Amino acid sequence: MPLFRGGDRQANAAVYRATLVRMRHHEQTRAYARKSLQEEKGDQSLPETRHHP
């Protein structure tokens, strides 16, 4: 689910938290994120290690 660019802060926060939980507990999600990051920018850290925007 994409973030709501229109400024729905509560919805964005909920999506962000759900993504972090899924990254911690779902191996397929971690693998997808690793693959996506490697294709995009190389050696960037996974979103679970970043600060909330």
In a domain, residue 1? The reply is no
pLDDT given at position 4: 65
Q: Rounded to 10 degrees, what is the CA torsion of 16, 17, 21, 26?
A: -20
Q: Is residue 32 part of a domain?
A: yes
Contacts of 37 (CB under 8 A, 6+ apart): 44, 46
- Please indicate, yes or no, if residue 15 is contained in any of the structural domains: yes
pLDDT at 49: 54
pTM equals 0.53
Considering the domain boundaries, does residue 52 fall inside one?
Answer: no
**Total tally of structural domains belonging to the chain:** 1
Identify whether 3 is part of a domain. no
CA distance 18 to 38: 22
- pLDDT tens digits for 9-53? 888 889 889 989 999 999 998 998 888 878 776 555 555 555 555
> Which residue range forms the structural domain that includes residue 34?
9-45
